[in-house]
Amino acid sequence: MKKVIVFGAFDNLHEGHIHMLREAKEYGDFLIVVVGRDEIVTQVKGRKPVYSEEERRAHVEKLNIADKVRLAAEGDDRYQTIAEEKPDIIALGYNQREFVDKLTDAVEEYVQIVRLQPFKSDVFNEFYKSLDY
């Protein structure tokens, strides 16, 4: 069974999130969605999320796309969730830049890292082309 993992804040779910999750699911047999903790989302976005981490987790779960939806591990090790879940593939959103700078160093060599396409590629194409993955 090939496990795929995706990370995100998933605050105010929209069509782009749904597109991202469906595309990620195509990479494997089992999709794990990791919802960011309130503290981390606040640091990354520069503002508190509209919905709490538990509400955001429940919203993603209700989409019925993922096989497992969980909160990110607590603590300072930002890659702990990856170690716990042992995915075969890490699917990154087209604009995901946080915590990816040392991602290849933090995962086992068998883990494949893929970059997902933007929902509206004609709008986000230039941004997407500038990413490293």
User: What type of residue is 76?
Assistant: D
Best CA proximity match to 115, nearest among 86, 90, 92, 89: 92
Check: pTM over 0.75? Answer yes or no.
Answer: yes
Rounded to whole angstroms, how far apart are CA atoms 83 and 106? 9
Rounded to whole angstroms, how far apart are CA atoms 125 and 81? 30
Domain regions of the chain by residue span = 3-129
* pLDDT tens digits, 44-70: 889 999 999 999 999 999 999 999 999
Fold type of domain 3-129: Rossmann fold (3.40.50)
User: How confident is the model at residue 56, as a pLDDT?
Assistant: 97
Q: List Cα–Cα distances, 32 to 25, 123, 131, in angstroms.
A: 9, 28, 23
Q: Residue 121: pLDDT band by 50, 70, 90 thresholds?
A: low
Residue with the bigger pLDDT between 8 and 106: it is 8
* pLDDT tens digits, 64-110: 999 999 999 998 788 899 999 999 999 998 888 777 777 888 888 88
User: How confident is the model at residue 122, as a pLDDT?
Assistant: 53
Could you give the angle at the alpha carbon of 60 between the alpha carbons of 58 and 95, nearest 5°?
A: 135
User: How confident is the model at residue 95, as a pLDDT?
Assistant: 81
Instruction: Tell me 128's DSSP state.
Output: H
Task: Please answer whether residues 92 and 116 qualify as being in contact, where contact means their C-beta atoms are separated by less than 8 angstroms.
Answer: yes
Alpha-carbon 67 to chain mean position = 14
